Amino acid sequence: MLFALFAFAYVLGAIPFGVIVARASGVDIMTTGSGNIGATNVHRTLGAGKSIPVFLLDVGKGFVPSFIALTSFGRSDLAFLVGLTAVLGHCLSIFLKFKGGKGVATGLGVLIGSVPPVAGLAFSIFVVVLAVTRYLSLGSIIASLALVPLGLAFHEPLAVNVCLGCLTLFVVLRHRKNIERLRSGNEPKFFLKGAPQTAAVEGPPEPLQSQTKSEEVVPFSG
């Protein structure tokens, strides 16, 4: 059953909801704006009416397998590992020739499904940073950096904190180009009504191996 759960998590995570929703509107999201399949690019290209469903579906990709694992085995560390498989599927989707998004929204779903208290505070940190700076990427990075301290504060097991550390590292690496743009002052800000024109400054999404291009939503941004 455990192997089947990992397989289910990967396949579910690999479903490119951003691509599907955008295509239903006649848009190829992978060649539009930043080229990323996550809710941020969908928002900037098609608006909140399309990006909110994408965000919720991407969160669900991480939550569902994590929650199933937690309720089936009663272990938050195992639930986290299963959820990380969904994140991997989102970023290296078999349906997109192993391309994908940044996995931040899916990562939020993993946190909600396996360590809800950590998820709640991390998301709160993200919202505060976003409200103050208007930078989704900065909110994602700072929220991810808070994961291990939050895990320690809630006395999570060592294995869970290691998983939190892995997710932190993953998020930071996936935002490497965003960090460069933040430092140079070229990172586009987030607006509720969307700002398609600003997305053009971003490059297409980067492969996991080279981390050369990308962008997304939630706890962060995708």
Number of domains in the chain: 1
**pLDDT, position 1:** 85
Per-residue pLDDT, 194: 54
Domain range for residue 99? 2-201
pLDDT of residue 218: 40
Q: In a 3-state reduction of DSSP, which class is residue 102?
A: coil
Quote the pLDDT of residue 186. 92
CA distance 133 to 155: 31
190 near 176, Cβ under 8 Å?
A: no
pTM, two decimal places = 0.84
Residue 119 CB-half CA count within 13 A: 20
Domain for residue 222, yes or no?
no
Q: What is the 8-class DSSP label of residue 96?
A: G
Identify the pLDDT of residue 199. Answer: 40
- The pLDDT tens digits of the residues spanning 15-33 come to 999 999 999 999 999 999 8
How far CA 3 is from CA of 9, 69, 82, 90, 115, in Å, comes to: 10, 11, 10, 18, 22
What was the pLDDT predicted at 219? Answer: 45
Residue 117 pLDDT = 96
Q: Does the residue 216 lie in any domain?
A: no
pLDDT at 14: 98
DSSP codes of every residue in 128-186:
HHHHHH--HHHHHHHHHHTHHHHHHHTT--HHHHHHHHHHHHHHHHHTHHHHHHHHHT-
Residues of the chain with pLDDT under 70: 194-222
Distance CA 61, CA 112 (A): 11
Distance of CA 23 to the CA centre of its chain: 20
> What is the predicted pLDDT for the residue at 191?
83
